[in-house]
Amino acid sequence: MNQSLTDLYLQRGRLLERIASQRATLAWQLVPLQNASDAGSRVMAMLRGGVQYLKSHPLPVALAVLALVLLKPRRALRWAGRGLFLWRSWRALRAWLPESLLGRDL
């Protein structure tokens, strides 16, 4: 009886080791899925943030729709490209210039 109890404990120990090894292997194999899931979560959070921004700032959306209605879509797209260029240029200039030249803290 004592021997069979010892065998059971030994078998239990081997099973626990095997379970731990399988868990470690599974965790290692699931890393790419976790990364993909994290990327999806970041995209969803960014989309929610964008929707929330648009809900809280309806004026830019209304101006964009108005520009599409008043101007032809091709012309509106051209103006949007120019605006994006100006915005990027301003950001680059602002990063390059010292804050003292801009006249305020950014």
What's the pTM? Answer: 0.43
The DSSP secondary-structure symbol of 30 reads T
Question: pLDDT of 51-72, one tens digit each?
Answer: 898 889 889 888 888 878 887 8
pLDDT of 48: 93
Residues 39-54 pLDDT 10s: 888 999 999 998 898 8
pLDDT of residue 49: 92
Please tell me the distance from the alpha carbon of residue 84 to that of residue 95, in angstroms, as a whole number.
16
Domain boundaries, the chain: 1-56
